[in-house]
Amino acid sequence: ATIHDQTLSRGNGGELHQFAQGDTPVLTTAQGGPVADDQNTLKVGARGPALIEDFHFREKMFHFDHERIPERVVHARGYGAHGYFETYESLAKYTRADLFQRPGEKTPAFVRFSTVAGSKGSFDLARDVRGFAVKIYTQEGNWDLVGNNIPVFFIQDAIKFPDVIHAVKPEPDRGFPQAQSAHDNFWDFISLTPESMHMIMWVMSDRAIPRSFRFMEGFGVHTFRLLNAKDESTFVKFIWKPKLGLQSVVWNEAVKINGADPDFHRRDLWEAIQSGNFPEWELCVQLFDQKFADSFDFDLLDPTKLIPEEIIKPVPVGRLVLDRMPDNFFAETEQVAFMTQNVPPGIDFSNDPLLQGRNFSYLDTQLKRLGSPNFTHIPINAPKCPFAHFQQDGHMAMRNPVGRTNYQPNSRGEGPRPDPARGFRSFAEEIDAPKVRLRPESFADHYSQARQFFNSQTGPEQKHIAMALTFELSKVEDVVIRERMVAHLLNIDEALGATVADKLGIEKLPKPADAAVTPRDDLPASPALSI
Ligand code: HEM
């Protein structure tokens, strides 16, 4: 007989019970009370009624009733893994961030990959942007590089984020569709938002249907600053390059995979890591100074633009290895809270208006999602370095200040104190400007880089873009929206616009959309900074 058989026996009603035997732990309530029967409620007589006195039933049901937390407002579907970041060589010349000082040093990390638009139960092969969120547990606090697999974004200002997400998520009346098929709301918004054209080219490309998480790049998107010990600033863009290279599926495959195995990307990561086939990415940086920023054709604060790699070559500065799956999906992958505001001393923000808004949004949303200002007490979110502060109480507080003193200054010499030398210091940028709600002129060219991306694609890849646009726009009922999109495409590539129009049965080509700035292809060359 198996162990299983030995512990099974029949209860009074013939139902099967599993009882503790040998080393099997005794089932308890959450309060630790041993349980005698977990299959029958306490009743008056075998046929009831049930008694409210049954605390075991009430506790079991109460806890089950509260198992769900809100899914993320975006990037709801995701999959995470543990690993480490290893620094290649010292970046002390550019940053005082502790994790970049000592070659060969490994720092623990947790990564969550995600899709943006679908709900938690959606399928993996949706045509969508993939989130690539990395939490590195440095000796100076957690650094969260909350990126995507696409180097640019739909919008230039965070105030538009609720609009773009409302437009892409299921429509309020009908509650569908998800990211798999196009719909009027999304394309209506996009066709009225020329700044999204560069991102749209990437989203319609094969980049948006990766073969697996292991074959994707990751981008910090925004321009950040590195600050060295002397507080000298260097601008930086962060890029993760997969050791396995880039691979995508084609749309036909994506549709079939979604039907056959909606968890395809999850399973791929799980199986790779469990079989010791650890995926790896190199962290590359594009470094540049104010002089380059001033000479570049685009504004480095504009998140709809990238710096072409031909102009500033990304330099590898370390590697990320994922070598362990979480023990518990909910505790770790679901409860992990990434926040762009989490940067260690030596890494600072730029004034990118999308980044500045994100710095508010992530902290704000974690309170709603995780339900308590103490979400850093959850192990996956806790720093792995010494920490000390005077924050106390609140839901689920686990680590109140110890002793009598919970404030500063205090005359007892107790408790932690700020340290101007080691603490976070913002770059002391001089700004002299009126307080306004204005978009800078330097953010106005919406087509040049969209065209540059389209031109960088091979023939088959360009065809995929045309097919994706045709497929998506064919789902749009409103002809005006279709035509408005074609008018934008004509600004990006005439043949692309004409092909899509033809496939959509638009007989008379619309006039190209008004381009605020004359599109241009020529981009300046400038040497990369050396490490
Ligand atoms: C979630 C990336 C723009 C708000 C995420 C996640 C990623 C990401 C990767 C998933 C994090 C996880 O795995 O838990 C990006 C990138 C952006 C961008 C690369 C642009 C460059 C924005 C903007 C806002 C925003 C502009 C709002 C102003 C959020 C929120 C979540 C989220 C509220 C849910 C966080 C949570 O509940 O844990 N984003 N995002 N994002 N993002 Fe963004």
Per-residue pLDDT 10s for the chain (531 aa) are: 344 545 677 777 777 888 888 889 999 999 999 999 999 999 999 999 999 999 999 999 999 999 999 999 999 999 999 999 999 999 999 999 999 999 999 999 999 999 999 999 999 999 999 999 999 999 999 999 999 999 999 999 999 999 999 999 998 888 886 545 558 999 999 999 999 999 999 999 999 999 999 999 999 999 999 999 999 999 999 999 999 999 999 999 999 999 999 999 999 999 999 999 999 999 999 999 999 999 999 999 999 999 999 999 999 999 999 999 999 999 999 999 999 999 999 999 999 999 999 999 999 999 999 999 999 999 999 999 999 999 999 999 999 999 999 999 999 999 999 999 999 999 999 999 999 999 999 999 999 999 999 999 999 999 999 999 999 999 998 999 999 999 999 999 999 999 999 999 999 999 999 886 554 445 444 444 666
Q: Which atom of ligand 1 is nearest to the CA of 369?
A: 37
Please confirm, yes or no, whether 75 is among the known catalytic residues.
yes
CA nearest ligand 1 atom 36, residue: 72
Q: How far does Cα 308 stand from its chain's mean position? A: 23
Q: Provide the CB-side half-sphere exposure for 303 (13 A, CA).
A: 27
The answer to whether 284 and 239 have CB atoms below 8 angstroms apart is: yes
Query: Which 8-state DSSP code applies to residue 230?
Result: T
Question: Is 112 annotated to bind ligand?
Answer: yes
Burial code of 429-451, b = ≥16 C-beta within 10 A, e = fewer? Answer: eeeeeeeeeeeeeebbbbbbbbb
Sign for the pseudo-dihedral over CA of 181, 184, 189, 193: positive
Per DSSP bridges, beta strands 224-227 and 218-219 are unpaired
Is 228 in the active site? no
Which candidate in 148, 149, 185, 342 is catalytic? 148
Task: For ligand 1, atom 41, name the residue with the nearest CA.
Answer: 358
Q: What angle do CA 222, 223, 226 make, to 5 degrees?
A: 130
Residue 13 CA to its chain's centroid (Å): 51
| CB distance 77 to ligand 1 below 6 Å | no
493 Cβ neighbours under 8 A, 6+ residues apart: 451, 454, 455
Q: d(Cα 305, Cα 199) in Å, to the nearest integer? A: 9
Please check if 266 is assigned to a binding site: no
Read off the amino acid at residue 132. Answer: F
362 appears as a binding residue in the annotation: yes
The secondary element (H helix, E strand) that includes residue 353 is: helix 353-370
Q: Tokens for 115, please give them.
A: 């899709």
61 CB-side CA count, 13 A: 9
452 lines ligand 1 (CB under 6 A): no
Q: How far is CA 87 from the centre of its chain?
A: 23
Q: What is the pLDDT of residue 523?
A: 47
The CB of 362 under 6 Å from ligand 1? The reply is yes
497 pocket-lining for ligand 1 (C-beta < 6 Å): no
Cα 2–chain centre separation: 46
Instruction: Assess whether the C-beta atom of 129 lies below 6 angstroms from ligand 1.
Output: no
- The DSSP code sequence of 148-162 is ESSSS-S-SSGGGHH
What is the predicted pLDDT for the residue at 300?
97
Q: What is the pLDDT of residue 173?
A: 87
Rounded to the nearest whole angstrom, what is the distance from the C-alpha of residue 116 to the centroid of ligand 1? Answer: 8
Helices (H) then strands (E): counts for the chain: 13, 12
- Which protein residue has the closest C-alpha to ligand 1 atom 31? 74
Question: Does residue 160 line the site of ligand 1, with CB under 6 A?
Answer: no
Q: What is the ipTM of this complex?
A: 0.94
Amino acid at 389: H
Residue 369 annotated in ligand binding:
yes
- The residue type at 506: I
User: How many angstroms separate the CA atoms of 163 and 185, rounded?
Assistant: 10
Atom of ligand 1 nearest to the CA of 336: 14
Which pLDDT does position 163 carry in this prediction? 98
What's the start-to-end Cα distance of the chain, in Å? 67
The strand pairing partners of 239, in sequence order, are 219, 284
Maximum distance among all Cα pairs of the chain, rounded to whole angstroms? 86
Instruction: Kindly compute the dihedral angle of the four CA atoms of residues 485, 486, 490, 494, in this order, to the nearest 10 degrees.
Output: 140
| Entry pTM | 0.94
Query: Is 214 annotated as a binding-site member?
Result: no
